Amino acid sequence: MADFKRWKEQRLARADVSRKGSVDEPIEGIVRLLNSHDRFCTTSSCSGRLVVLEQPPLPPSAEATTGFEIQKQNCSWLMVTHEICTIEKVLTALQRASDDALFKFEPFVLHVQCQELQDAQLLHKVAIEAGFRNSGITVGRKGKIMMAVRSTHCLEVPLSRKGKLMVSEEYVDFVVQVANQKMEENQRRIDRFYSSLQFALENQYHSSSLSFEEKEKSNAMHYYRRIKKSAETQKDECHSPGKNSGLESDHET
């Protein structure tokens, strides 16, 4: 407990090494709320963004298995926004492309170090309920417990090849509309996550003197009913013997 608290103080005192260098405005409340609790410490986050990036053409399949890693290192952002975006902004960014360029929606992602496994379980439950179905827990060799909030949502559309736009402006406009709708759905899920998080933390750590297990029990039926319900529309894996659980479903078709 004391160790985690000390470690957290050091961690939060560090400089922000991310490209942007600060927490995205749409999730400031979530980050502040989590860090106000002794048992949690956020380590990285992105509220969700629309990106135009360019990268060298993919290596021929014959090439080394590191092809994608190499490509990732050489890619550069031509546009990044954490808000709804316009076709003009995307087209302007594409004009600067000399390589293969693509337009991408990247959903909300949040990493939270947790003091104990039960804390990560609580966050995971809230994340799944809010619709972030690719969320998961990582337990390091030395017991470091990390909870990652992840979405199944994606949009990745190649637009330019060797700097030349391959599609019509009407198509770019349509793709921007689709991306903006995903950004809006992303924001709705963030809002859902924030409000259930407030409820869950209040209920778990502040209210009456019930033990963690007792409170878990009291929330469980409500939670599992919701998970079961969501699971029913999620049986889209290729192989899945018997009943599938909402916690097990990734592919969003």
Q: Looking only at residues 177 through 236 of this chain, which bind a second copy when binding is defined by CB under 8 A?
A: 178, 180-181, 184-185, 188-189, 192, 216, 220, 223-224, 230, 233, 235-236
CA dist 80 and 31 (Å) reads 21
Cβ neighbourhood burial of 66 (10 Å; 0-12, 13-18, 19+) = exposed
Partners of residue 40 on adjacent β-strands = 114
Give kind and range of the element (H or E) at residue 146: strand 145-149
Partners of residue 157 on adjacent β-strands = 103
Q: How far is the CB of 37 from a second copy (least distance, A)?
A: 17
- Selected from 33, 99, 155, 205, the binder of a second copy by CB under 8 A is 155
Whichever of 168 and 207 has its CB closer to a second copy, that residue is: 168
- Selected from 30, 79, 90, 175, the binder of a second copy by CB under 8 A is 175
CA dist 105 and 152 (Å) reads 11
Please name the residue that has the structure tokens 């979530």: 30
CA dist 191 and 173 (Å) reads 27
Backbone angles phi, psi at 226, to 5 degrees: -65, -45
Q: How far is the CB of 92 from a second copy (least distance, A)?
A: 19
Whichever of 198 and 219 has its CB closer to a second copy, that residue is: 219
Q: How far is the CB of 206 from a second copy (least distance, A)?
A: 21
> Does residue number 169 form part of the binding site for a second copy (CB under 8 A)?
no
Binding to a second copy, residues 97-136 (CB under 8 A): 104, 106, 109, 111, 117, 120-121, 124, 131, 134-136
- Selected from 58, 92, 169, 225, the binder of a second copy by CB under 8 A is 58
